[in-house]
Structure formats: C-alpha cells, structure tokens
Structure 1
Amino acid sequence: MDKADTKRHPHWTRITGYILFLINNVMGMLSVVVYLHSVRWALPAVVMVGTAPFFVGLWGGIRLVTSILPRGCYRKADDFLYTIYQRMTIFFFYKVSGVEILAYGDTDILKKKENAIFICNHQNTVDWMIANYLAIHQGSLGHIRYILKDGLRFLPFYGPYFKQHGCAYVKRGGKFNQEKLKKDISVIRINKEPIWLVIFPEGTRYNPELPQVIERSKAFARDQGFKELENVLSPRTKAVQTCIEELAGHVDVLYDITIAYSNTKDSSGHRKVAPPMTDFLLGRVPQLHLNLERIPLENVPKEEDKLRRWLHSLYEKKDRMMTDFYSDNVNLPCTGRFPGVPKQITFTYLQTLPSVIFLAASTGLILASSEGRIAFGKYCLFGTLGGWVWMALRS
C-alpha cells in the first residue's frame, strides 16, 4: 500500500497495526508460557530447598526439648519430623512429576513393617527417592538412614541433619574407614532403633557417557575373577559387610531393588544417561520400573569372600534384567519392563499434600515480613557456617 492508498484508507492502516500489535503480544505471551513450562521444576526445587532451614530449625527445637527425656523420645520425634519432610518430596516426585511407578517381584514387602538393609543400583540423583516410595507403604518412612559419600556432609543444613538423623558418611576406595562406619552403625543396634538402611554398593552412578568408569568396573570384576557387567557397575563389599555384621540380630531382611527409568534410550536404541531431578520433575520419565526381592538376612553369607561372590551374583542378575530392559529384541518378553506382572504404586493427596502446606506456609509466614526475611537470611548464613564447623569437628 503506497502513500496515496494510506491517505485514502487510514482505517486499514490502523487495523493492520492492531493486528501486528496483537500478533506480537500473543507471540510474546506464548514465549513466556513455553519458558515457564520448561522451568516448572524450579518451584518444587525452591520449596524443597527453601523449607530446609525451617525444617532444621524445627528439629533444633525438638532436640532441645527432648534433651532431658529418654533417647527414645527424641528418636521418635525426629523420625516423625523426617517423615513430614519426605512426604513433601513424594508429593513433588510423584504428583507433580506424573510418573507411573510399577513394582515387580516381591511386592508383599510393602505390607509388612520390618527392619531392613536396602541395596539398589545407582544411576542418578533420583535414586534416593525409591526408598521413600516403598518405605511409606510400610509406615517406615521416618526410619530411613543412608550410607552417603563423604562429600555430602558439607551440604548446607542437609549434611549436618543427616548426620544426626543416623546416616553415615564414608570415603571411597582406600580411604574407607571401616571402624568409623562400625561405630556409626552400632548405635542403631545398641538403641534398638527401627531402621531402613539404604546402601548403593556400586559406590558411584552408572553413566553410559563415562566409559572410563564402566571400564574400571569391568577391570575390578576381572581382577576378582567375576563376570564383567554391562548395564550396572561391579558392587563393592566393605560397607555392605560392615552393616550386616553390625546389625545382625536387629535387621530382619535385605531388600534388593533394581531400578530402571523409561524414556532412557536414544533414537538409535542406545542407553542414555538416567534423568536428573530436573527432567524427572518436568515429567520426562513416564514410568519407573522397580524389581523387588526380599532376602532373609540369615540367607546372606557373612564371610567376606563368600559375601563378595554372593553380592556380585546379585548384580549379575540385575545386569541381565537391565540388559533385557534396554534390548531392541522384540522377541524378548521383558523389553522395556521387568519380569512378572507389575503392581502400580500410588499415593493420595492426603498422604503428601498436608506436609507441603505445613512446611511451605510456615516458611512463608517467616518471610512475609522484612524482619522475618532479615532473620531468616542471617539464620541461613550462620546456620550454614555453623554446620560446616560442626561437621569438620565430627569428621
């Protein structure tokens, strides 16, 4: 439209301008929506991390009040508080993520409450949630303790809290201190505390993009005279053996859990890296497959050499299941799943949402005023520094 036409038809110029303005704004809004959708994991992360200082502060109050009472009172209160926080994590990692959890094998373990050592293959930063998914159905959520790598002890708030909750920090390889682990674990047996002790025997995550780690695992198997593993890493025995020895007579069973995440094969059929927390919260893992095996502790070898062979045989079984899971052979019955008929694990809003509301609302009330925000900031700063000093002295 030339200048003459513009003068003769001014209304068309205005209409065209309005249309272009509208298109521009719609496109801008769509860009914002797409961006918010791509970072929707941030809200759960902010809530979980942001409520941690309040949670630890509440624990400190409980610790102070129960200091004059028998130890059992403190332990029950701490386990109850831990249950509240972990119910919140289940809300985000189940309700928000939309994942379908399918359990195979000995699913009856969900019905009977018992003390257990819990071992599983390790792939990503979501693996720790598996114990939550299962323990809550036993009423054992607050009893979960972890054997953690030593570097995690300096995580602000979480590191010191996990230490007092009964978790143990261990160093890898030649720096492993067996006597220190015995001391940490023996407290559970001496005080007869209910326990789900979670151990990742591989010691690090299986990552198909780190072939050097996989090769070290195979070399370790060869040195021991064991079969090389392709889809899991060779397990290490020392931490498992120490925990079995120290908890004998107190722990009833060993739970052997195999974990596989759906949507972890690329277009060429090769296995991808297991999804990080962000992808999980974004709903990029439609299904989570869990094979459960309940093994009475009396059936687990106690001698080191026999235990080493027995544990490696468990991981050979895991390796076969994982290999079939990732196979492109359509004739295999277990491609993309585990053997047997799966049982779906579900959670209600009543089980999880009240914890979210309590922790988020309590933290929100503190942050609602400028005085509260200043106090909260100082508490986070000095609480973090104090936690680092405390953990350094305890190491």
Structure 2
Amino acid sequence: MFGILCGLLFLLQLLWSCFFAATLLVSLVRLFCRFLGERGLQISEFVCSYALKLVQLNILSYAQKIAGLRVVLYGDRVQEGEGSFLVISNHQSWLDTIILTLVLLKQYPGAFCRYIGKKSIGYIPLLGWMCLQTGALVSLSRKWIHDKGRLEQELERLRRLPGDFWVMTYPEGTRFSWVKKAVSLDYAKKNDLPGFNNVLVPRFKGFFACVQLLRSRLSFVYNATLIYEGGEDELGVSRINLAKVFFLRRDAPEEAFPSQRQLFPVAHVVLEKIPIDKVPFEEESCRDFLMTLFERKEKLIQRFKEDGSLSDKSLAVNLGLPFTQVFEGTLVLWIISLVGFFICWFSVVELGNFIHSFTNNSRIRV
C-alpha cells in the first residue's frame, strides 16, 4: 500500500510538472523564438531539451531513490564530449528506455536526445506526451513507405543541431515475447536469416537510414544489451516492468538475501562502443553488421540465463544519479513548474477581469 501511495503521489506531481513546466513554458518560449530566426530555433531546441531532461531526471530520481531500481553497467563507458552517437538496443520492457536514459544522462548529461519509436509511444501518459511536446520522439507507423520521408526530415533537422546528440532506437521494432519470437523465427526462416531465442530479428531500414543520414555527425555506435533479473513470465515477457518499479517500494536492495534478489528491480546493461568508421556504408554489409550485433546480444542473454553472469568485472554495481542531477530533477523542476503555474494563474485572472470589464461597459452603453 505504501508503494502504491508513493506511486500515485509521484504521478500527480509529474502531471503537474509536465503541464506547467514542460508544456506551458515550453510553448511560450517556442512561440517567442519564432520571431528570432535561426538563432531562435537553436534557443527553442535547447529549452525543449532541458525541459525534457528535467522530467527525465525527476522520473529517474524517483525510480532509484524511492523504488530502489538498480542498474549494473558493463563494457564501455560513454565519455562526455566524445561526439554524437547512435544507441541500438534489444527491447524487453517499457522500462528499457528509462534504464538506458539513466545510463546516458549519468555519463553525458549535456547532449541532446532523440528516441525513434512507434507512434503509439506518444500516447503513453506523461513521458510519451512529453517526448512529443519537446520533439524528442521521432514517431513511426512501422510502414516504411510512410515513415521514410518523416525519418529523413527529422534526422536532417537533428544533423543541423550545433551540439552533440544521441539517438536511441530499437531495431526489433517491438518488445520480446514468445508469440513475437515465433513470428520472428518464421520470418528468419523464410528470408534465410539466423533465428534467435532471446531477441527478435532486427529491422534494418531504420538503422541504415540513421547511419546514412547522420554519418557525418556520428562518432560511435553503442550496441546496448539489456537483461533483467527475475526471468520471464508465461508469455515470455520480463517480470520487471514499469508497474513494479513505480508502485512497489524497495528498501536497501544491496543488503537483501540472495533468495530475495528477484524481488528487487535490477537491470544489467552491457555497452559496446563501435567507432563509426567500423560501420559499413554499403547496404548489404550494413545489414550483416546489424545481424552480427544481435548475434552478440543473443549470446550475452543466453550466458546470463545459464550462469547468471555477463562479465568478470562491472563498471558500476549500482549506477546512480549524482546529487546535482537529483537536485535538478526535483527542486529546479518544481521551481519552474511554480513559475508556469503563476503565469497561468495571472493570465486567467487578467482574462477574467477583462471579460468582466467588457461586460460592464456593454451594459452601461445599453
């Protein structure tokens, strides 16, 4: 009950913040920046990015400090100032984006972010709505004939940004489950592709478009593999999900007995940094390259299922946000939300006074 109460209170304050800080103020800034030309577009992009970042930090702070989410990181680190990069990941849960955002914001907080995903993601309350409002979500219909032009337009806009950025995408196109695995294996068999038991056959066109259009700006491609403790349910879906993180409170997971570890939300993330000049530019070679990356994911996940390990050494056993980022995601976001609230309140009062004055003047004339 305590976890449910905490989750509901968190969602209410997040709704408040999203409306007054990330929607009202962002809309006003974007409207004002339209009159400033190219410089105004850059300011608008920065404001939208920072508003989204504050909301992301707010969500991550709650997930870690209240819900007890733990992230174990392996492989390569993201270095701040190393340039822009593309992140490709397997897709197991709605929680995947939150986990990867934590990893990237922790290590490179100053970069612009973009997510490439299904149009339905924009309908997710709060976070999906925020991503659409700030332009961070490049939403696709999963029909390439319709998506190609929109994706090229958004990537060209991203390529012109003055600062570094990262783009996150899930080439599988959907979350893993036993039903989707059967469809994926059938597709692999018909197209003479390798079949996987722990990931789905990746879709190639979106990845290739990103490599083609952003190649001049990209420094690296990060191959991210996500694995959750707790196994999968009878449908093959990860037992760790958004509801368990945001509505079940966990205390001191690192002090738990081994038999209790499955109760705590623990995610393992393996990052593999690949220089962009190692990514083939030709279509067929690039397709083979992507399949090779997913073969590595398949082996990592299978290894974890068999012996519960990924690597002899982890970079961070409990990757957490520093105090400055927690401060931004709580107090700074609330201060900005209050400013937006008072602007809204003042506007409503002034509008009411104007209507009242206009009505009185009309009666006097009559």
**Fold match, TM over 0.5?**
yes
Superposition deviation, residue 362 in structure 1: 5.6
In the alignment, what sits opposite 1:292? 271
Separation in 1, partners of 2:152, 2:323: 39
8 Å contact from structure 2 (residues 87, 224) kept in 1: yes
* Structure 1 SS opposite 2:218: coil
Contact 1:261 1:285 in 2 (8 A): no
Aligned partner letter, 1:356:
T
In the alignment, does 2:65 pair up with 1:65? Answer: no
Q: How far apart are 1:363 and its partner, in Å?
A: 4.7
The 5 Å alignment of 1:206-355 reads 206-207=176-177, 211-264=178-231, 273-281=238-246, 282=248, 283=250, 284-327=263-306, 335-344=307-316, 345-355=319-329
After the TM superposition, which of the residue ranges 215-224 and 240-249 deviates more from structure 2?
215-224
Question: What do the CA deviations read for 1:349-391 (whole angstroms, capped 9, x no partner)?
Answer: 33213422343466578889xx95x96xxxxxxxxxxxxxxxx
Amino acid at match of 2:68: G
TM-score scaled by length of structure 1: 0.74
State the alpha-carbon separation in 1 of the partners of residues 324 and 338 from structure 2.
21
| Number of aligned residues | 327
Counterpart amino acid of 2:242? M
How big is the shift at 1:191?
4.0
| Preserved contact between residue 110 and residue 135 of structure 1 (Cα < 8 Å) | no
Task: Give the counterpart letter for 1:275 in structure 2.
Answer: I
Q: Distance in 2 between matches of 1:193 and 1:255?
A: 19
Relative to structure 1, the CA distance from residue 112 to residue 338 in structure 2 (aligned partners, 3 Å threshold; closer, same or farther) is farther
Over 3 Å counting, the alpha-carbon distance change for 1:58 and 1:350 in structure 2 is same
The aligned counterpart of 1:25 is none
**Which structure's relative contact order is higher, taking Cα pairs within 8 Å and 6+ residues apart?**
2
**Partners of 2:130 and 2:59 in 1: CA distance:** 19
Q: Based on CA coordinates, which of the two structures has the bigger radius of gyration?
A: 1
Q: Does the CA-based 8 Å contact 1:123-1:205 persist in structure 2?
A: yes
Is the CA contact (8 Å cut-off) linking 1:80 and 1:142 kept in structure 2? no
Counterpart residue number, 1:43: 9
TM superposition shift of 1:236: 0.4
Inter-partner Cα distance in structure 1 for 2:64 and 2:310: 21
| Structure 1 residue aligned with 2:115 | 146
Amino acid at match of 2:142: R
Are residue 90 (structure 1) and residue 95 (structure 2) matched?
no
User: Does the aligned pair in 2 maintain the 1:147–1:168 contact within 8 Å?
Assistant: yes
For the 8 Å contact 2:176–2:236, the answer to whether it is kept is: no
Gaps of 5+ in 2: 251-262, 349-366
Counterpart residue identity of residue 89, structure 2: C
Distance 1:279 1:161, change over 3 A: closer
Identical-pair percentage: 21
| Alignment-derived partner of residue 363 in structure 2 | none
Q: Distance in 2 between matches of 1:60 and 1:151?
A: 23
Q: Is residue 80 of structure 1 aligned with residue 50 of structure 2?
A: yes
What is the CA-CA distance between 1:112 and the residue it aligns to? 4.7
1:367-378 equivalences under 5 Å are none
Q: For residues 205 and 98 of structure 1, do their structure 2 counterparts lie closer, same or farther at Cα, with a shift above 3 Å needed?
A: same
The root-mean-square deviation of aligned C-alpha atoms, in Å, is: 3.0
**Distance apart, 1:66 and its partner CA:** 2.7
Deviations 1:217-268 (CA, angstroms, capped at 9, x unpaired): 11222223222100111110011111111101111111110011112257x9
Separation in structure 2 between the aligned mates of residue 188 and residue 36 of structure 1, nearest angstrom: 43
Secondary structure in structure 2 of the residue aligned to 1:294: strand
Q: What amino acid is the match of 2:238?
A: V
Q: Report if the CA contact (8 A) 1:202-1:235 is conserved.
A: yes
One-letter amino acid of the counterpart of residue 246, structure 1? L
Aligned counterpart in structure 1 of residue 86 of structure 2, from 110, 117, 129 = 117
Is the CA contact 1:123–1:274 (under 8 Å) kept in the aligned structure 2? Answer: no
Partners of 1:160 and 1:81 lie apart in 2 by 9
Kindly state the Cα deviation for residue 111 of structure 1 after the two structures are TM-superposed. Answer: 4.8
- 1:7-49 Cα offsets, whole Å, 9 max, x none, are xxxxxxxxxxxxxxxxxxxxxxxxxxxx234553222233223
Unaligned runs of 5+ in 1: 1-34, 328-334, 376-395
Report the CA distance between 1:163 and its aligned residue: 5.9
CA contact (8 A) 2:116 2:137 kept: yes
Moved more, 39-48 or 116-125: 39-48
CA distance in 1, matches of 2:323, 2:329: 10
SS at match of 2:309: coil
Q: 2: distance between equivalents of 1:146 and 1:221?
A: 26
Contact 1:82 / 1:142 at 8 angstroms: preserved in 2?
A: no
One-letter amino acid matched to 1:103 = L
Given residue 184 of structure 1, which amino acid in structure 2 is its aligned partner? E
